[in-house]
Structure 1
Amino acid sequence: MATQGNSSLYTIDAGILKTDACVVLVKTEWNAPIVDALEEGCKRVFEQYKVQYQTLIVPGAVELPFAIKRHWTRTHAQGGPDAFIALGCVIKGDTPHFDYVCDTVTQGVLQLNLSLPVPTIFGVLTVNTEVQARERIGGVHGHKGEEAAITAIKMINS
């Protein structure tokens, strides 16, 4: 999903969409303007397809997998959500911290996808600069929040 040329991603032809679908967005406080824009992109798609959603907020990207797992544990007996989307933005700095955070959150989301019965969509931008992040929230690289929401809908209905 690195380029905007993946036009088939935006086509939802999964037949009848689940009418009571619910997605939980789990977003970070770090880089809030970027992450808020990712969330807004998700919301636009969910409103278009009448998907229910709620948002949880965590301090940073490393906390995303824990919050998702805890929410599932607390809610699955009552039905739980049909999918999760992890939203964040990690911008490279001068230390190896970037690499550790990116690896940790990536592996955490992978483990959730292997252990939970519902999908967890990776909506975390891992970029070198803020300019690159802005290019991915409606700029030359499309809108990764919208793409994450479309991916969740497709996975719910697959």
Structure 2
Amino acid sequence: MATKDLSAYDMEKVPSAENMKFGIVVSEWNYEVTGALARGAVDTLKKHGAKDEHIVVKHVPGSFELTLGGQLFAENTDVDAILLLGCVIQGETRHFDFICQGVAQGATHLNMKFNLPVIFGVLTTDNQQQALDRAGGKHGNKGDEAAITAIKMVALQQGLENGE
């Protein structure tokens, strides 16, 4: 089964991020992968006009801690969107299931609690190669996709709040 190129999108359909502020929470676990996701996200935000000073990147130990990192951004900054970037690779135990479910539910909860786009940019793969393929490899970069999603969701929220 073919996987979509996560970095492929129509640039004309992406609003300007010039006046938007972003918080990015990156898991240190599997940093070869998560660092690439973060670089992809930052580069994509900048490509669409986000200013360096409007992009704040913070690190947490693992993917499970991403949601608390997101909550801390929501409570203590004035960002317009938060990107949660991590990577969980299937192992021999059910740990994978618990982490993935917890982070996904946590991200959804943060969206609703803070009325703020919180983007789930967590790779959930069977092995390291699949993760690398989705962090700048043959399937593009999930960080790019997370950044585009953040920009579009901020634009949607701002437009609706302004009666557009």
Bin for the TM-score computed over the shorter chain:
0.7 to 0.9
**TM-score, scaled to structure 1:** 0.88
Return closer, same or farther for 1:67/1:6 CA change in 2, 3 Å cut-off.
Answer: closer
Q: Could you tell me how far apart the structure 1 residues matched to 2:27 and 2:131 are?
A: 15
Task: Specify the alignment match of 2:66 in structure 1.
Answer: 64
| Worse overlay, 113-122 or 27-36 | 113-122
Distance 2:141 2:6 in 1: 12
TM-score scaled by length of structure 2: 0.85
1:142–1:18 CA distance, 2 compared to 1 (3 A):
closer
Mark the runs of 5 or more structure 2 residues left unpaired by the alignment. 157-164
Q: CA deviation at 1:138?
A: 2.2
Which amino acid counterpart does residue 108 of structure 1 have in structure 2? G
In the alignment, which residue of structure 1 is the partner of 2:162?
A: none
> For residue 13 of structure 2, what is the aligned residue in structure 1?
13
CA distance in 2, matches of 1:26, 1:59: 10
CA contact (8 A) 2:23 2:73 kept: no
Q: Percent of aligned positions with the same letter in both sequences?
A: 37
SS of match in other structure, 2:79: coil
CA 1:124–1:49 in 2, change beyond 3 Å: closer, same or farther? Answer: same
5+ residue gaps, structure 1, are none
Instruction: For residue 157 of structure 1, give the secondary structure of its aligned residue in structure 2.
Output: helix
Label 1:149 to 1:93 Cα distance change in 2 as closer, same or farther (>3 A): same
- The superposition leaves residues 39-73 of structure 1 with CA deviations (integer Å, 9 ceiling, x where unpaired) of 01011111212212110111111111111112211
Structure 2 match to 1:134: 132
**Contact 1:12–1:154, Cα closer than 8 Å, also in 2:** no
Asked if structure 1 preserves the Cα contact closer than 8 Å seen for 2:117 and 2:153, the reply is: yes
Partner of 1:54: 56
Aligned AA (1:65): T
Compared CA separation, residues 34 and 130, structure 1 to 2 (3 A): same
Asked if structure 1 preserves the Cα contact closer than 8 Å seen for 2:18 and 2:48, the reply is no
Structure 1 segments of 4 or more deviating over 3 A?
Answer: 9-12
